[in-house]
Chain A
Amino acid sequence: MNRLVLKNCTIVNHDRIMKDKTIVIENGIIKSINDSKKEEGIDLKGKYVLPSFVDLHSHLREPGEEFKEDIFSGCHAALSGGYTSIGIMPNTKPPLDNPQSITYIKKREQEFGKIEILPFGALTKNLESVEITEMYDMLKAGARGFSDDGVGTTNSRVFLNALRYASRFNTFITTHCEEKNLSEGGQINESDVSIKSGLNGIPYIEEDIIVYRNLRIATYLKTNLHIAHISTKDTLSLIKNFKKKFKGITCEVTPHHLIFDETVHYDYNTNFKVKPSLKSKRDVESLINGINDGTIDAIVTDHAPHQTYEKEVEFIEAPFGIIGFETAFSSLFTYLVLKNKVDLKTIVKLLSYNPAKMLNLSEKYIETGYEANLTIFDPEKEIIVNRDFIKSKSTNTPFYNKKLRGSVEMTIFKGNIVFRRNDG
């Protein structure tokens, strides 16, 4: 029998915190949570035990760009950030737009064996917005949702058809919203920062214009739709209004859009170059409000690896994207929880409970009878996000060589310890 006992735990669920508990896990299931001090087990005094995290948005670059990341390195990175289920986007080279490619990903998941990979298939073949993909067969092969991430489905008719076609499957559709004609050639948000830095600006309305189109199509068809990585106050209020009319609308935000505003670009650091672009202080504040008032359903990493030599170039030449698995929780803890902007339970809800529910995964909750998928977090320990710390092949994070408060010390997947930080 596979047995694991965790002692002196501070259990943080999305709705309540329990202190000084002993968790007994048997065969992958939480057998009991009690006050016993007698059991032999791992002492977690001063540490938090959280339901493990679920990412609705990441890029593992395999197949095609394994020099940036591959499935194994990406999964190691995810586990060390406390994630046990990761949704991966189909914009690989070639894209995941057919059943065989999904089968390949599921095979790699089995080889790795320590994490749950949730492949999102493309909505349209080759992400070209012309023909819709074989969604039925892809779902059979193990796809857990669909998206034309990275570009968005530009043709409105094709997007409507794709949503309508997918509507019978009760699956998860997530959409990247970007008005390409407005964003083309742009580097950062258009504002006084773009004027002063001389970096070409992208008018922020490019996001809500497409969000509106997509929400209208979804509500017209009455099909569920998830809006990926929102970044502006206007997008947020648009979604808020649509949510009042139709319950099937959900949305997500990344840690970097909750922590940084556009003024970081005065330093031309390409590790901040990302899509959607970082916005104003006002937008950041409104997104934090959106977290607290429940408008935003999930926090996602949008883990997007790029090699150092690709990023260590002139700003215009650098690719868009930031890695996120390994810093997501510590950065949210440092910048939002410790600064009393967001409650710890709310973070747990948006990193774990909500996204699991949206993908119909096993419920992420720490309670007797539930699957033991856990993240152990030391809130006092300081981490330095350097090359040694990062498990990903790439280091393109705004936190590179910076300190964060709090460390993911251990990740447990179905009762097994799948990650343990061993830096003494």
Chain B
Amino acid sequence: MNWTKKHLLSIEELSREEIDFILKNAFSFKEILSRPIKKVPALRGKTVVNLFFEPSTRTLVSFSLAEKHLSADSINVSTKTSSVMKGESLLDTAKNIESMKTDMVVIRHSSSGAPKFLAERIKSNIINAGDGLHEHPTQALLDFMTIKEIFGDLKNLNILILGDILHSRVARSLIWGFMKYGTWVTLCAPPTLMPLYLNDFNVKVEYDIDKALENKDVVYILRMQMERQEKALFPSLREYIKEYSLTYERYLKIKNKSIIMHPGPINRGVELDGTVADSEKSVILDQVTNGVAVRMAILYLLNGGTNE
């Protein structure tokens, strides 16, 4: 197929064929990553700005490496060191950066819709690296890649997404993608961290973690944020762990050939037990590796998908 999209803003707007195409390219790039010299000239002479308005280690490093492997010139701008601290608006920041003749902007922002906002106003290709509670498409893509790598396909797998669904952009991107593939999705969280309106999503809601864990091929655990306790969303860490953590005890009961995933950064002992994170079922670090390959594929395709 031919890639036609100019930006990567969400999983919702991608077709299943487009996701497959990205993953196909990502698998080729993964092969390059295993070589001693991990550099190809695909983006030589192109300039990419990584505009990060929220803290990030994994995503920022992953994008930076992907850009470097493709021979792009890239720079990182983060909130703390930028003019945003001096009161400059997002639009002015982006327009100024673009005036320096950049080709692509990777943006992470706490406001849902910020990447779309930029895409409608500047000429560069925009890649959403996480916007508010909306979506985190590259994370979902690397997760699909990881699952495909292990199970061959996503169709008819049983997936559990466990944790703070309400505030998770990763969960939203995953659900959109899984729906396109016909994957069976179960969501598990305390009711306060579960969206009230899920009618348009083909998902099952289960509040009892032990029932939710039954017969799952993939257990996808989300990060639990401590601030939620102050907002009266859960009573205590103690009770949360009792009810919703993937403890070692629960780990022992899950299906034999299943895998455990997490978008990182993990809170050991909170949403999952430390031993579980390091267990043989855990593919958390494989996800990180695939992240670089998926981001190379995205950068490559948005740039036109041609080698010089």
Contacts and interface: CB of A to CB of B under 8 A. Distances in A.
B109 A314 contact: yes
Contacts, number: 60
Given A192-B200, A314-B90, A314-B114, A198 B109 contact: no
B110 A195 contact: no
Given A190-B196, A197-B134, A198-B135, A315 B111 contact: yes
B200 A196 contact: yes
B260 to A, nearest CB: 26
Interface in B94-137: 109-114, 116-117, 131-135
A314 B117 contact: yes
Contacts of A315: 111-114, 117
Interface in A166-204: 190-192, 194-200
B1 interface: no
Given A313-B89, A314-B109, A196 B12 contact: yes
Interface string B170-199: 001000000000000000000000011111
Q: Which of A194, A199, A315 has the most CB of B within 10 A?
A: A315
B111 A317 contact: yes
Contacts of B111: 314-317
B285 interface: no
Contacts of B198: 192, 195
A309 interface: yes
Contacts of B110: 316
A268 B91 contact: no
Contacts of B195: 195
Interface residues of B, number: 25
Interface string A250-272: 00000000000000000110000
Contacts of B113: 197-199, 268, 314-315
Contacts of A192: 197-200
Contacts of B131: 198
Interface string B240-277: 00000000000000000000000000000000000000
B132 A195 contact: no
B295 interface: no
A312 interface: yes
B200 A197 contact: no
Contacts of B196: 190
B182 to A, nearest CB: 20
Interface residues of A, number: 19
A194 B166 CA distance: 11
A268 B200 CA distance: 20
Nearest to A185: B231
A190 B195 CA distance: 9
B169 interface: yes
A268 B89 CA distance: 17
A200 B133 contact: yes
29 contacts: A190-B197, A192-B197, A195-B195, A195-B197, A196-B200, A197-B112, A197-B134, A198-B113, A199-B112, A199-B113, A199-B132, A199-B133, A200-B133, A267-B116, A268-B113, A268-B116, A312-B89, A312-B91, A313-B90, A314-B109, A314-B111, A314-B114, A314-B117, A315-B113, A316-B110, A316-B111, A316-B112, A316-B132, A317-B111
Top 7 nearest A-B pairs by Cβ distance? A198-B134, A268-B113, A314-B111, A198-B112, A198-B133, A316-B111, A192-B197
Given A267-B116, A315-B113, A316-B132, 5 more contacts: A190-B197, A191-B197, A198-B113, A200-B133, A313-B91
